[in-house]
Structure 1
Amino acid sequence: MIATALGSFAGTGMAATIRAVLGVFPDRAPLPELPDRGPHASMFARTMCLLEDLPFDRQPAGWRLSLGPSILARRARRTLLDDIDVLAENIDDWPGRLTITTMGPWTLSACVDLPRGGRSIGDPGARRDICQAWGAALDTHLAWVRRVIGAPVAVQIDEPCLGQVLTGVIPDESGRHSLPPVEEPEVRDALGAAIAQAKAAGGDIVVVHCCDDELPLGVILDSGADAPSIDTAVLRGSSWDRLAQWCQQGRQAWLGVVPTHQMEAGSAFMTRQREEVCSRLELDEQEREALVLTPACGLAGVERSVAWRSLAELAKVARG
């Protein structure tokens, strides 16, 4: 059993954060995200800046597709490329496998408005364009990352809004009403196409992360992902049974066993969480080896010293 983190951290120093994450996680580690550096360093901007045919900007009301390139988009792309260069300078002797995190196409669609107003998620043509542009952009991006670091990479597709898309709770532009849900077959098929594109682009494994309270576990497992990345605290009833079937087939699962608000709980708590999850899933020793322990979500809101101390404890708990 191994442990890893899910991408975002507090602070603004990329070189120091990269060295820390590679030091704590010898098996698998993400290219960090540091949203404290500003909107251009957010998960949304770091993904959207790769979609060259869909320029965007940030307005007082939030993210919006634009009619031409923006300074923020150019800054986001430059920052991301600089971060990859910093990673390449620090990864030479590291023995593990890197994870590239990217916001998934459904959450992108849920977070960005159309140029003349209205949510992209509410426009079938717009969300189709975003899904298609996402796949093409990821292909180019992964090729670049693999060339710079000289090694295969995993892909983590972050879809925190997936449950909201399916249940129809995303507000419209006015905020007074909710947009209709997107039908499950459309969501599943588009997510499956995104996963297939990530694999074709060179992702050695593709993981779908969702920490939504209304976790659509079935959609994730049926989409072709190599592993779900989930907050175990939101699993209910039949979801435990479905996940158990998945894990008992020897398939990988990334399990968020430490809530971000309990990162100071300590190794004894983490060990209990690990054992409780394995017991609920009825896993034998061999099946446990396919598990990856993680925090429930990103750690951008967790004080740095707390986060790194807790991540080191989580790595030890996973090993033994």
Structure 2
Amino acid sequence: MTYEQAWDEAAAVQAGTPTARWPVGAATGIGSMPGTDVVEATATVLGELPDFPHLPELPGRGAGADLIGRSTGILVELPVEVAVTAWRMASRPGRDTRRIADLLARDLDTLSEQADGYSGPLKIQVAGPWTLAGQVELRNGERVLTDHGATAELVASLAQGLADHVADLRRRVPGATIVTQLDEPTLPAVLEGSLRTASGYRTVPPVETTVVERDLRAVLTAAGGLTAIHCCAPDVPLALLRRTGVSAVAVDMSLLDLADSAEVDRIAEHIDSGVILMAGVLPGDGTDPSTLPAADVLADKLRKLVTSAGFGLERVPAALTVTPSCGLAGASADYAQAALKRCVEVGRALAAG
């Protein structure tokens, strides 16, 4: 599906309750894992998240394995290179573009081998259009976001590239139902207009919510199937994200002020919409697995969240999917493995009632 087709189709999409989802009680990861061994990381994810694994990301391998660099690898006809301060648009593909492609190909080959015969939901992650536009630089050193034409070109390239990426995954793991997650940690700053220009003396003007919503919807539609948007930042724009037609929104629960009645009301509106809340309940940077809270303690907190929002306990299993609060790249290997296992235990406790 081309970007133009996705845009046309997305224009007809109305926000509402998703008609399909992954299994109730399934838990998943956000994306990144510690270390540099993709074979080990993939085995850990498939072993600890049997009902809802994801393609692991290993930013510890350096440039090209980080969120932004990795995501630029699926852009169509928009090569990038490493600059002093950030990833920057390049005039032609070079060494950095090839490195990104090689790392991603190695990860996909490993997944194809280890997930052979797998059947069920399988999540992939890519930086969303607004985080890419806010973090990637033009050749003049300014953010792509400062140029409306360049931003539109990036969004179109991402939509086409993501459609191709998802199609490739479906061929590689034919039994899998691909779930596409857009990572948008920069989105609140894009909406607020708080990102600095290259000079540091000005900020990039805020982007209109209608434009943000339109382009997010187009990229999600290009991916097709089940989708999620992850935003590990304060002030997640839940209502805006729901209007894109997304299946789920992933948040860091520690950034929500659940003592604030207005925040609880926002959560209540989200649960009532039918859009799944992917609740990040475990820190992503731990080192000692013994510090992880018990599964029953976490499950009780999530039940309380739903009931304090005005719903009965029967609503809990379908409303929530349990995850770590963010990626696990900053954790120890033992902690990361234990955290994924704990998320599964919490999810199953919620599903059991």
Whether TM exceeds 0.5 here: the answer is yes
For residue 112 of structure 2, what is the amino acid of its counterpart? A
Question: Counterpart in 1 of 2:322?
Answer: 293
Moved more, 25-34 or 169-178: 169-178
For residue 59 of structure 2, what is the amino acid of its counterpart? P
The 1:79–1:167 alpha-carbon spacing in structure 2 relative to 1, beyond 3 Å, is same
Please say if residues 26 and 95 of structure 1, whose CA atoms lie closer than 8 Å, have aligned partners that are also in contact: no
Indicate yes or no: 2:292 matched with 1:265.
Answer: yes
Instruction: Say which SS state the counterpart of residue 229 (structure 2) adopts.
Output: strand
Please say if residues 298 and 346 of structure 2, whose CA atoms lie closer than 8 Å, have aligned partners that are also in contact: yes
Aligned counterpart for 2:114 among listed residues 90, 96, 104:
90
How many positions carry a matched residue from both structures?
316
Moved more, 306-315 or 157-166: 306-315
Aligned counterpart for 1:304 among listed residues 328, 333, 352:
333
Indicate yes or no: 2:166 matched with 1:139.
Answer: no
Please say if residues 8 and 35 of structure 1, whose CA atoms lie closer than 8 Å, have aligned partners that are also in contact: yes
Moved more, 262-271 or 1-10: 262-271
In structure 2, how many angstroms separate the alpha carbons of the residues matched to 1:311 and 1:274? 17
In structure 2, how many angstroms separate the alpha carbons of the residues matched to 1:174 and 1:142? 38
Question: Counterpart in 2 of 1:8?
Answer: 32
Question: Counterpart in 1 of 2:215?
Answer: 190
Aligned counterpart for 2:226 among listed residues 205, 216, 224:
205
Aligned counterpart for 1:229 among listed residues 241, 250, 260:
250
1:90-169 correspondence runs (5 A): 90-150=114-174, 151-169=176-194
In structure 2, how many angstroms separate the alpha carbons of the residues matched to 1:126 and 1:94? 39
For residue 281 of structure 1, what is the amino acid of its counterpart? A
Instruction: Say which SS state the counterpart of residue 152 (structure 1) adopts.
Output: strand
In structure 2, how many angstroms separate the alpha carbons of the residues matched to 1:35 and 1:182? 29
In structure 1, how many angstroms separate the alpha carbons of the residues matched to 2:85 and 2:270? 41
Please say if residues 120 and 177 of structure 2, whose CA atoms lie closer than 8 Å, have aligned partners that are also in contact: no
In structure 2, how many angstroms separate the alpha carbons of the residues matched to 1:2 and 1:273? 18
Indicate yes or no: 2:60 matched with 1:33.
Answer: no
1:242-257 correspondence runs (5 A): 242-257=266-281
Please say if residues 69 and 87 of structure 2, whose CA atoms lie closer than 8 Å, have aligned partners that are also in contact: no
For residue 107 of structure 1, what is the amino acid of its counterpart? T
- Cα distance per residue 1:26-69 (max 9 Å; x no partner): 11111000000111111212211111311110111211101111
The 1:303–1:269 alpha-carbon spacing in structure 2 relative to 1, beyond 3 Å, is farther
**How far does residue 277 in structure 1 lie from its aligned partner after superposition?**
2.4
The 1:19–1:297 alpha-carbon spacing in structure 2 relative to 1, beyond 3 Å, is same
Question: Counterpart in 2 of 1:43?
Answer: 67
Q: Which runs of 5+ in 1 are unaligned?
A: none
Please say if residues 34 and 58 of structure 2, whose CA atoms lie closer than 8 Å, have aligned partners that are also in contact: yes
Aligned counterpart for 2:236 among listed residues 215, 220, 225:
215
The 1:261–1:117 alpha-carbon spacing in structure 2 relative to 1, beyond 3 Å, is closer
Moved more, 74-83 or 233-242: 233-242
Please say if residues 57 and 63 of structure 1, whose CA atoms lie closer than 8 Å, have aligned partners that are also in contact: yes
Instruction: Say which SS state the counterpart of residue 206 (structure 1) adopts.
Output: strand
Please say if residues 76 and 158 of structure 2, whose CA atoms lie closer than 8 Å, have aligned partners that are also in contact: no
**How far does residue 107 in structure 1 lie from its aligned partner after superposition?**
0.4
For residue 230 of structure 1, what is the amino acid of its counterpart? V
Q: Percent identity?
A: 32
TM-score for the superposition, normalised by structure 1? 0.93
Please say if residues 266 and 310 of structure 1, whose CA atoms lie closer than 8 Å, have aligned partners that are also in contact: no
**How far does residue 249 in structure 1 lie from its aligned partner after superposition?**
4.7
- Cα distance per residue 1:245-284 (max 9 Å; x no partner): 3323544221112233567332154234323323333333
Q: Which runs of 5+ in 2 are unaligned?
A: 1-24
Moved more, 92-101 or 293-302: 92-101
The 1:196–1:176 alpha-carbon spacing in structure 2 relative to 1, beyond 3 Å, is same
**Per chain length, whose mean CA-contact separation is higher, i.e. which structure has more relative contact order (CA < 8 Å, sep 6+)?**
2
Please say if residues 164 and 214 of structure 1, whose CA atoms lie closer than 8 Å, have aligned partners that are also in contact: no
In structure 2, how many angstroms separate the alpha carbons of the residues matched to 1:292 and 1:32? 18
CA RMSD of aligned residues (A): 1.8
In structure 2, how many angstroms separate the alpha carbons of the residues matched to 1:273 and 1:257? 9
Instruction: Say which SS state the counterpart of residue 30 (structure 2) adopts.
Output: coil
**How far does residue 95 in structure 1 lie from its aligned partner after superposition?**
4.3
In structure 1, how many angstroms separate the alpha carbons of the residues matched to 2:283 and 2:300? 13
Instruction: Say which SS state the counterpart of residue 64 (structure 2) adopts.
Output: helix
**How far does residue 20 in structure 1 lie from its aligned partner after superposition?**
0.8
In structure 2, how many angstroms separate the alpha carbons of the residues matched to 1:177 and 1:284? 48
For residue 228 of structure 2, what is the amino acid of its counterpart? V
